[in-house]
Amino acid sequence: MIRIGTRGSALALWQAHHVRDRLAALGHAAEIVTITTTGDRLQTSRLEAVGGKAAFLKEIEEALLAREVDLAVHSLKDVPVQLPPGLELCAFLERADPRDALVSRSGAALDALPPGARVGTTSLRRRSQLLARRPDLAPADLRGNVDTRLRRLRAGEYDAILLAVAGLERLGAAGEITQVIPAEVLLPAPGQGVITLESRCDDAVVSAAAALLHHQASARSVQAERAFLAGLGGGCNVPLGAFAEASSGGLRLRAYVGREDGSAAVRGEREGRDPGALGRSLADELLGRGAAELLGR
C-alpha cells in the first residue's frame, strides 16, 4: 500500500485522488494521508513572511523523511529548486493549461477593468506583470483556497481575482473564468499546470510505480523552467515567470523578472534542445541585462 501525503485543500485532494486512481488502474494500491502545513495554518500572513511557497511542503516532506508517507503530490510551481537531502521528484504528470485566469464580478476582461479596480492575488509574479500592463489597478492580497477566493470575490471584497486556469479546471470551476490571460501578458510561474510526485531517494519500489505516470514532454519543459529558476539563485519569493514549450529548435523558453510594483522588468527568450543548458543560459542573459539589480543583488 502506497501512502500518499497531501494538503487538505480541495485542489490538493483532487490532485492526490487523481494520482491514487491512476496508480490503482495500474495495479498499485494507495491511500491518502492528509497533512496540515504551515501555509495552511497561517492564512492571514503574506506568503513571503511564512517561508514562501515552501510553507505548503515542509510538513509533507518531513512526513516523507519520517516514513509516515511514501509519496507526496504537489503542484510543481510550489516546489523549490532545492529539495531536502534524501528526497527527489520522481515523476512529472502531463501538463494542464499553464496560463492564468481573470475572474471578475462584472464580467470585464483585464483591459476593460475600471481604473482603481481591486484585483486579488497573493502572487508577486502576477502583481508585477499586472501593474506593468495596468499601473492604474490596485492589487490586493488574497489568501485561501480556490473556493474561499471565489467567495470573497462574490462578497464584493475584490473587483476581480487572478487564479491558475489548471486549478479552476480541475475543480470543475472553469465556468467562473472571465478571461484566460495570454502568456504574453502574464507569463506563468515555472512549473505551473504540472503535478509532480516526490519520494525518498532510497525507495525504488515507489519511484518505479510513480514513473508509470511520468510525461516526458512536460518534464523537458519544466526542467528548462526550473533550470532558469536555479540560475537566478533558486528563490521563489521574487516576481518572475518562466514558460517553455516545444518548438522547431527543441524548446522555446520565455522568462520575466520584474519589480513587484511593475515599474521595471527584464524579459527574454531563447531556443535550445538541452533543457538545463537552455534555462541556465537564459538566466545568465537576464542577470547580465539587469535582473540581478531587480533581484536586489
Q: How far apart are CA 35 and CA 181, in angstroms?
A: 33
pLDDT, tens only, 146-193: 999 999 999 999 999 999 999 999 999 999 999 999 999 999 999 999
pLDDT at 49: 47
pLDDT at 52: 55
Q: What crossing angle do the helices spanning 10-25 and 146-154 adopt, rounded to 10°?
A: 140
Section 79-93 average pLDDT: 96
Band (235; pLDDT cuts 50, 70, 90): low
Are the C-beta atoms of 128 and 260 separated by less than 8 Å?
yes
Residue-wise DSSP of 93-118: PPP----EEEEESS---GGGSPTT-E
Are the C-beta atoms of 176 and 150 separated by less than 8 Å?
yes
pLDDT at 76: 97
Give all domains of the chain, ordered by start, each with its CATH number: 2-93+194-214 (3.40.190.10), 100-181 (3.40.190.10), 225-294 (3.30.160.40)
Q: How far apart are CA 146 and CA 242, in angstroms?
A: 23
Are the C-beta atoms of 109 and 182 separated by less than 8 Å?
no
The whole-model pTM stands at 0.91
Section 254-268 average pLDDT: 95
pLDDT at 63 over 60: yes
Band (50; pLDDT cuts 50, 70, 90): very low
Average pLDDT, the chain: 93
DSSP H or E stretch at residue 291: none
Write out the catalytic residue numbers. 78
Report H helices in 232-294.
275-286, 292-294
Section 131-147 average pLDDT: 94
pLDDT at 48 over 90: no
pLDDT, tens only, 277-297: 999 999 999 999 999 988 876
